[in-house]
């Protein structure tokens, strides 16, 4: 880190602009800033998931914590890439890790035959919330890439694969706490008595 933050407020953003890592300034509603905000929110949501797992009775808490810590660091690196156009921090190893973890978790899960609702234990539900935020961050990042063409492939792949990881993690966490998945009922309206 080149500079230490000794003063948190600078007043430079009071006019509605903010600085990027390359020294340029953009509007606070610029696509790049929206993507940064979504990645930041995703990282914070992952932090809540980590905290929930640490206070639960879930086995392998250390493994979960190490995986989520890696993910948080990668999201911070992603934020750096978005903040500094054409700057690369992420490496393909993050994609390989997520894919191996998805395969490992899937080995002990039953095959999905129905859609599941984003519900269940707190850890499962936080994983679902993080997945939804991840998809939004992915859409925002894709908007930046469509406009500027300077988002590297690994960054786009990270969010795509991470949303898959979070989905499988939600299923795995639900089972780890002895819960069963909440299935979507296709014809639920047929069971409602309007009287």
pLDDT recorded at residue 12:
59
Residues of the chain below pLDDT 70: 1-10, 12-15, 27, 188-190, 195
**Residue 1: predicted pLDDT:** 45
Beta bridge mates, 116: 183
- Whether the CB-CB separation of 99 and 161 falls below 8 Å is answered with yes
Query: Domain extents for the chain?
Result: 27-177
User: What is the pLDDT at residue 72?
Assistant: 98
Q: Considering the domain 27-177 in this protein, what is its CATH number?
A: 1.20.1200.10
Q: Where are the beta strands (DSSP E) in the chain?
A: 17-19, 25-27
User: What is the C-alpha radius of gyration for the chain, rounded to an integer number of angstroms?
Assistant: 19
Predicted local distance difference test score (pLDDT) of residue 33: 92
Cβ proximity of 42 and 36 under 8 Å: no
Residue percentage of the chain with pLDDT more than 70? 90
Taking the model in full, what pTM does it have?
0.87
Residue 55 contacts by C-beta under 8 Å, 6 or more apart in sequence?
none
- Given a contact cutoff of 8 angstroms between Cβ atoms, the answer to whether 134 and 29 are in contact is no
Evaluate whether 127 touches 137 at the Cβ level (below 8 Å).
Answer: no
Each residue's pLDDT tens digit, 7-28: 666 675 666 777 777 878 876 7
CB 45 within 8 A of CB 130: yes
């Amino acid at each position: 880190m080149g500079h230490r933050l000794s003063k948190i407020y600078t007043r430079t953003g009071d006019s509605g602009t903010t600085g990027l890592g390359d020294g340029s300034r953009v509007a606070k509603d610029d696509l790049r800033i929206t993507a940064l905000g979504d990645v930041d929110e995703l990282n914070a949501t992952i932090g809540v998931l980590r905290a929930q797992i640490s206070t639960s009775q879930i086995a392998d808490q250390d493994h979960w914590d190490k995986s989520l810590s890696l993910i948080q660091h990668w999201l911070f690196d992603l934020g750096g890439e978005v903040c500094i156009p054409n700057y690369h921090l992420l490496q393909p190893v993050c994609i390989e890790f997520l894919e191996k973890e998805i395969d490992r978790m899937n080995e002990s899960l039953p095959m999905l035959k129905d859609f599941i609702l984003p519900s269940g234990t707190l850890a499962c539900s936080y994983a679902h919330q993080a997945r939804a935020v991840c998809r939004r961050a992915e859409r925002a990042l894709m908007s930046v890439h469509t406009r500027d063409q300077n988002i590297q492939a690994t960054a786009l792949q990270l969010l795509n694969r991470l949303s898959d990881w979070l989905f499988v993690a939600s299923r795995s966490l639900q089972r780890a706490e002895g819960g069963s998945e909440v299935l979507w009922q296709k014809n639920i309206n047929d069971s409602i008595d309007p009287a």
